[in-house]
Amino acid sequence: MVNPVFLIAITLGFAFIFPLFEKINPKLSRLAGILVFLTLVVIPLIWFINISNMDIPYIYSSTVGLPSNLTINLAVSYMEALVLLVVNGVGLFVYLQEAYSKESPWKGKQIILLSIVMLGANGLIITRDIFNIFVFMEISTISLFGLLSCSSDDRVFEGGFKYMLASGLSSVFYLIGIGFFYLVAGTLNLDALPDGINFTGGVLGVLWPLFLLSGVLIELKPAFANGWGMDTYEAADYSLGAIMSGIQATALIIVLTKIIPLIESNIIMPLLLVVGSITFIISHLQALGQSSFKKMLGYSSSAQIGLVLIVLGSGTNILLAIVLLLTHSVAKSGLFYTGKYFNECGSGRDKPLLVVLSSLFVIALLGLPPFPGFGAKWTLLQILGGKSDVFTIFIILLGSLLEGVYLFRWLGLKIKSDRDSGLVVSEVVPDDDAIPGYSSSDTIGVASQTGLAGLGGCIKVHFSSDSFSYHQLFPALMAVIMVVSGVVFNKGVGLTFRFLIPFSGILFFVVLDLFRVPTKFQVFLAIVASIILGFYVYPELNGFNTLFGFIFLFGIGVQFIAFFNRKGYSPGLMALTVGLLVSLISILTSKTNFQLFFSWEMMTLTSYFLVLRGDNAFAGGYRYILFSLASAFFILAGFSMLHGIFIGEYMSLPQNLLPVILIIIGIIIKFAGIGVHIWLPVSYAEAENDVSSIFSTVLSKVGVYMLFLGGLYFSKRVFKGVDTMYLLGWIGVLTSVAGSMMALFQEDIKYTLAYSSMGQVGYMILGFSIMSHLGWISSLYLVTTHMMFIGMLFLSVSGVIYRTGTRLMYQTGGLIKRMPLSFISALFAIIALSGVPPLSGFGAKWLMYSALLEKGWYLQAAMAMFASGVAFLYLFRLIHSIFLGQEKAIYLNVKEAPAPLLIPQYIFMICVMAISMFPNLLIKPLQTVIEPYFASTVRWEGYEVISALGYWNGNAVMYVTMGVFIIPLIWLLIVNRHVYKVKQFNIVYAAERPFKPETTHYAYNFFGHYQKALGFLVEPLISKFWNGTGILVNNLSGGLRRWNSGNPQGYVFQILLYVIFLSFLMGGTN
């Protein structure tokens, strides 16, 4: 086995000989550098493999050939080998980046210093001597200072000076600690400690741990004493940021793990918990308000270290802390580099590789799948949940959410298109002076603002020649390694191989993108893939899963056809969409909470990136991911308290109320219940049209699925007479009212549909919360049919937007002649949606009202009825504004929507018709699904469904309604044979030229009068609330940032304060 001392000898020997070597042959010496850094990776790799194979506990070496208690020892266990592997890997990565950098490559002293940085980190990790730790700490900081001085930003001397003061003080504290430690222990060797050293009380018993800890903790840049570090991060080069957070912080945590066992656990554990929590939350808050990318990452590093401290302090498995630490190390250094290239080049739309890499690193940092941090966080929370440590769970999730706030903001800003203002542009009635004069060219101008330019809304990505450079190869390699290790680790935590296979589909489509396979061919493959997936998965589904499996597979599979309409090449589109489909299916096939949550997060991520593809999607995507994360974290918190029992097995779940409430809140956020709905309209509207359609048809149902999965488990008594389902029912009905009301006043058609979708999901929730046979049937019935008719509507509207280039209803009109097929589809969808006979919507409503009345929820029934009346109004407006009425001059040459958009609409239409005619096609299976939960209260006679309150015969309703329509139609045809057609420009009104032609369009401000009457109901109170929350958090962040005043003396003051704070945590010396 390789002696650990070789790590030191190799780096040091290289550093010493390098100046001579470089004089002889610079090129060769740099190559030798690669060899040295590679050796540093290979040695721990050998150890790692050997230790895990041969059950050798650890590799041990005492430096001078004497008994180990006399000398300085080096030891490598499984953990150290792993950490060394990662840290040295990051070191190799930095070396390759910098020694071969295009502009100003590192040479001479810089390479020497990098090698010494690695020496310091390696020494810190392997040494078993408390003074030797001090020496290596100094080695690594001093070599860092040397490197700092080469930064391109000369403010680095200010930051560096502060850093030196702070690190000088911390090493002084550490030395004091060593002194007291020696006084107490009589040795400095961690392997030769006398027994019972950690039980010494008294002054000395507090002083040595206090100062040893102060020394190490301050170097780790804990919150409220870390301003010096952050200032350095801001001015230092990216590479140094990577070194500080990826290499040094990691090594120092390992030092901490050596010191922790020395100190009595009932002192050190709470201390670490407090220190970690403070750092985790405050640093994240401080990061939130940063405009400097590097400083933001600096604060994020500090916070991540806080998280590791929390894990160490919570007394759970130390390996979890290590996994989190290493994930952070790699992801953060990767992000420093991708961020560097990103910040140099502005918007990332034409840099797909950078986009992918940054996204992966951000995801890894946040501990989302498929990276190792995900499994580690999950396991951690499970353990904490088992101990009912609600507070720690809360801290961890809150901090993670805050981290998401700024990391995703940065990512979104980098990915957004140049046209994207970054704000939510919800189209309202334009101001009077918005349109200065009337001429057709002006109208086109408006149209182009709103969408003509991005015809069809597809991103045009072109690979610039330098987008694959040597320098992005290594971050890419790192990302690949992280993904692989993440999959392996998460598999260890609880994913099966069979479960993971479908996810390889994402990889497959990524590879297709790498080879620039045309999107149309990819779509074809995706359809094939979804069929294969169906065959593969469908047999193992049962109960609700079968139904939702049908919705997910059929819904997305059919809408894949719409993607054929894409022109050009859309990289990533199919990988993400297939990823979304696979995640949704995996949610259904999950057998454990971990699998379920893994798929849930994968779904969140893939859909987030799908939203971001839109042209103005920054704000929408940002809201989408934040609320989705919040939702996921609520669910995660709930899951952590289920003692590992799968949520689908509702019978055996623990009966306490808290997890139920947490999970329900998570689900409410996910289906955009009233109050937390503000993410939905923006993201649905700003995603690309075909993507919005998938979101609205399929993705919106996943929250409902989660409810049905838990089923009866969610019904818990909160307090006297009121149970969770009663409250949820109210939320459902209010959501549907609010959704419909807000849909009413939108000018932007996609907003209308998005709000409509929100309102409809409200009905589904209401149906579920009734907790009866009929209620559930109505809910599931609506889930299925809504998928179809909202799909028709969205795709039909997509066709209109595709052809006209505008999303504003009042700009279109009279399209019935140009796009008759789209019109028919929209008409059918509207009839179905608004719940008038004869189509399926009527059945859904009928079942719903029956269930509500049966339950005795009369007020809710009235409100639901009101909401569906409103729904009819906005749908009427939609069809009236777009398809009926006056034709617009500029749209005279508009053609029918392309076939790829029409085909899925008509497939859905056939299904809707079938279900409407023969309701038992759907309701019979639903009954069998619900049977195990509730006994049936409806009965079937032929095509007639009979409930306690009445009966419904789909067939008969259809024929009657048809009759009612056809007779007047025939009559009209006979009577109106000689109609005088008024041409478009036959101005019959007056000789006056209208000043603002838009306002004369009847569709403009269509429901203005209702708005006057009822507008107060949709006043953006909720938007105001969330904006206020945002501002509050920002102000908090701003206030906390100001604590780091930038004054070196202030920082010294903070450090001393920190030591005193720590002494209080340890109970003081007196």
Partner 1 sequence: MMTNLLFILAGALVLVGLWGILTRRNIFKIIIGFSLVDTGVHVFLVAIGYVKNGTAPIFDKEYSSLHSLLNTVDPIPSALVLTAIVIGLAVTALMLSFAVRLILKNRTLLVDGKKELKW
Partner 2 sequence: MIKRFFTIILMVFFASLFFPLVGLISDRDSVSSLAKDYLVQGRDDFGAANIVTAVVVSYRGLDTLGEVTVLFAAAAGISLVFKGLRNEGKDKKYRVNPPSEILRTGARVLLPLIFIFGVYIFINGHLTPGGGFQGGVVIASGILLAFFAGNIKELNHGFVTFIESAAGFSYVAVGLLGIWLAGGFLDPRFLPMGEFGSLFSAGAIPVIYSLIGLKVGSEMSGIIDAIRSY
Q: State the residues that interact with partner 2 by CB under 8 A.
A: 3, 5, 8-9, 12-13, 15-20, 23, 61-66, 69-72, 109-110, 112-113, 116, 119, 123, 127, 129, 131-132, 135-136, 138-139, 142-143, 145-147, 149-150, 154, 182, 186-187, 189, 192, 202-204, 207, 210, 1053, 1056-1057, 1059-1060, 1063, 1069-1070
For residue 203, the partner it binds in partner 1, partner 2, none, with Cβ less than 5 to 8 A by kind, is partner 2
What is the distance in angstroms between the CA of the first residue and the CA of the last residue of the chain? 49
For residue 1046, the partner it binds in partner 1, partner 2, none, with Cβ less than 5 to 8 A by kind, is partner 1
Q: Which residue from 470, 858, 965, 1053 is in contact with partner 1, where contact means CB under 8 A?
A: 1053
Please provide the DSSP assignment of 645-702 as one string.
--TT-GGGS---HHHHHHHHHHHHHHTT-TTS-THHHHHHHHS-HHHHHHHHHTGGGH
Of 939 and 1042, which has the nearer Cβ to partner 1?
A: 1042
CB atoms within 10 A of CB 182: 14
CB atoms within 10 A of CB 470: 11
Closest distance of CB 120 from partner 1, Å: 12
Q: Which residue from 51, 74, 112, 164 is in contact with partner 1, where contact means CB under 8 A?
A: 164
Give the DSSP letter of residue 745. T
Scan residues 471-530 and list those touching partner 1 (CB under 8 A).
none
Residue 643 is encoded by which pair of tokens?
A: 């003692």
- The stretch among 71-79, 177-185, 417-425, 724-732 that binds partner 1 (CB under 8 A) is 177-185
For residues 266 to 305, the per-residue mask of contacts with partner 1, x marking binding by CB under 8 A and - elsewhere, is -----------------------x----------------
Closest distance of CB 70 from partner 1, Å: 11
Closest distance of CB 176 from partner 1, Å: 6
If phi over 0 gives left and psi between -120 and 50 gives alpha, with beta otherwise, what is residue 688?
beta
Instruction: Give the pairing type, strands 944-947 and 939-941.
Output: antiparallel
Of 23 and 155, which has the nearer Cβ to partner 1?
A: 155
The candidate with the shortest Cα–Cα distance to 378, out of 721, 6, 635, is 635
Whether cis (ω within 30° of 0) applies to the bond prior to 838 is yes
Report d(CA 80, CA 90) in Å as an integer.
Answer: 15
User: Is residue 672 a contact point for partner 1 (CB under 8 A)?
Assistant: no
Closest distance of CB 420 from partner 2, Å: 40
Residue found by looking up tokens 């219940």 in the block: 673
- The stretch among 115-123, 140-148, 663-671, 834-842 that binds partner 1 (CB under 8 A) is 140-148
Of 146 and 898, which has the nearer Cβ to partner 2?
A: 146
- The stretch among 148-156, 312-320, 723-731, 981-989 that binds partner 1 (CB under 8 A) is 148-156
If phi over 0 gives left and psi between -120 and 50 gives alpha, with beta otherwise, what is residue 747?
alpha
Whether cis (ω within 30° of 0) applies to the bond prior to 370 is yes
For residue 175, the partner it binds in partner 2, partner 1, none, with Cβ less than 5 to 8 A by kind, is partner 1
- The stretch among 137-145, 404-412, 529-537, 862-870 that binds partner 1 (CB under 8 A) is 137-145
Helix, strand or coil for residue 887?
Answer: coil
For residue 64, the partner it binds in partner 2, partner 1, none, with Cβ less than 5 to 8 A by kind, is partner 2
Closest distance of CB 306 from partner 2, Å: 24
Of 151 and 304, which has the nearer Cβ to partner 2?
A: 151
For residue 386, the partner it binds in partner 2, partner 1, none, with Cβ less than 5 to 8 A by kind, is none
User: Is residue 178 a contact point for partner 1 (CB under 8 A)?
Assistant: yes
Residue 221 · residue 1054 · CB < 8 Å: no
Specify which residues 60 forms β-bridges with: 75
User: Is residue 203 a contact point for partner 1 (CB under 8 A)?
Assistant: no
Integer CA distances (angstroms), 791 to 92, 201, 694, 741, in order: 51, 71, 8, 21
For residue 1048, the partner it binds in partner 2, partner 1, none, with Cβ less than 5 to 8 A by kind, is partner 1
Report d(CA 838, CA 943) in Å as an integer.
Answer: 14
Residue 91 is encoded by which pair of tokens?
A: 């070191």
User: Is residue 60 a contact point for partner 1 (CB under 8 A)?
Assistant: no
Of 475 and 1048, which has the nearer Cβ to partner 1?
A: 1048
Report d(CA 990, CA 203) in Å as an integer.
Answer: 98
Q: Which residue from 34, 165, 452, 658 is in contact with partner 1, where contact means CB under 8 A?
A: 165
Scan residues 213-272 and list those touching partner 1 (CB under 8 A).
227, 231, 234-235
The candidate with the shortest Cα–Cα distance to 799, out of 693, 696, 890, 697, is 693
For residue 178, the partner it binds in partner 2, partner 1, none, with Cβ less than 5 to 8 A by kind, is partner 1
Q: Which residue from 5, 176, 204, 914 is in contact with partner 1, where contact means CB under 8 A?
A: 176
Q: Which residue from 55, 103, 154, 433 is in contact with partner 1, where contact means CB under 8 A?
A: 154
Residue 625 · residue 679 · CB < 8 Å: no
Report d(CA 191, CA 947) in Å as an integer.
Answer: 78
For residue 231, the partner it binds in partner 2, partner 1, none, with Cβ less than 5 to 8 A by kind, is partner 1
User: Is residue 135 a contact point for partner 1 (CB under 8 A)?
Assistant: yes
Of 3 and 149, which has the nearer Cβ to partner 1?
A: 149
Closest distance of CB 65 from partner 1, Å: 19
Q: Which residue from 149, 546, 715, 955 is in contact with partner 1, where contact means CB under 8 A?
A: 149
Q: Which residue from 8, 451, 1041, 1066 is in contact with partner 1, where contact means CB under 8 A?
A: 1041
Q: Which residue from 58, 131, 463, 918 is in contact with partner 1, where contact means CB under 8 A?
A: 131
Residue 168 is encoded by which pair of tokens?
A: 């000088």
The 3-class secondary structure across 358-419, one letter per residue, is HHHHHHHHCCCCCCHHHHHHHHHHHHHHHCCCHHHHHHHHHHHHHHHHHHHHHHHHHHCCCC
Report d(CA 200, CA 205) in Å as an integer.
Answer: 5
Report d(CA 40, CA 85) in Å as an integer.
Answer: 8
> ∠501-507-509 over CA atoms, to 5°?
115
> Helices 773-804 and 689-697: crossing angle, nearest 10°?
170
Binding site for partner 1 (CB under 8 A): 131, 134-135, 138, 142, 145-146, 149, 154-155, 157-162, 164-165, 168-169, 171-172, 175-176, 178-179, 182-183, 188, 227, 231, 234-235, 289, 1041-1042, 1044-1049, 1052-1053, 1056
